[in-house]
């Protein structure tokens, strides 16, 4: 269940502004899952159900009045023995990819997060997003194509576009 909680947290952090908000979201969803334990015991994909609940809870928070200032933020960085310059370049590149992701439609952002960051299979993503597996594949393909296009523009021209 700890692996599910980690995935729930990463999804919540991707959708909400802060670590604290994400932790609160996971705690709230876990409480709801605990209360519905008899129902979840009969599910074939408890992880997908938990992720769906997390997504819905976070989207509800984003729609609430108290969440008007929330933005999408999420950066992973592996701090190995790279030089400071390499670490800065890596951080900037990752931040740029996530900035590009923020410009995508919400559905594409969610599909990229679930597939490329969380590494869920298409069926689980379809369950979480309430889309068909084919629609998930199409949304992911379009999102990746747009991210690739914008990265190529920046690398070829050395300047950001669309900012």
pLDDT digit string (tens) for 76-126? 333 444 567 777 777 777 777 878 888 999 899 999 888 888 888 898 999
Please state the domain extents for the chain.
Answer: 2-67, 84-157
Half-sphere exposure of 121 (CA within 13 A, CB side): 5
88 and 96 Cβ atoms separated by less than 8 Å? no
Total number of residues shown for the chain: 163
**How confident is the model over 15-27, as pLDDT tens digits?**
886 788 889 999 9
Could you name the CATH architecture of 84-157? Answer: Orthogonal Bundle (1.10)
Whole-prediction pTM value? 0.55
Report how far residue 99's alpha carbon sits from residue 159's, in angstroms, rounded to the nearest whole number. Answer: 14
> What backbone torsions phi and psi does residue 51 show, to the nearest 5 degrees?
-70, -40
């Amino acid at each position: 269940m700890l692996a599910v909680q980690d995935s729930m947290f990463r999804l919540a952090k991707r959708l909400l502004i802060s670590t604290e908000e994400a932790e609160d979201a996971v705690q709230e969803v876990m409480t709801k899952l605990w209360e519905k334990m008899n129902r979840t015991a009969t599910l074939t994909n408890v992880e997908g159900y938990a992720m769906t609940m997390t997504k819905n809870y976070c989207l509800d928070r984003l729609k609430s009045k108290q969440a008007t200032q929330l933005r999408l933020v999420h950066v992973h960085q592996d701090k190995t023995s790279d030089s400071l310059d390499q670490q800065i370049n890596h951080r900037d590149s990752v931040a740029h990819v996530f900035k590009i992701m923020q410009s995508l439609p919400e559905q594409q952002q969610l599909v990229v997060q679930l597939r490329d960051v969380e590494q869920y299979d298409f069926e689980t993503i379809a369950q979480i997003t309430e889309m068909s597996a084919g629609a998930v594949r199409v949304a992911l393909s379009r999102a990746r194509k747009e991210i690739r296009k914008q990265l190529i523009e920046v690398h070829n021209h050395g300047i950001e576009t669309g900012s």
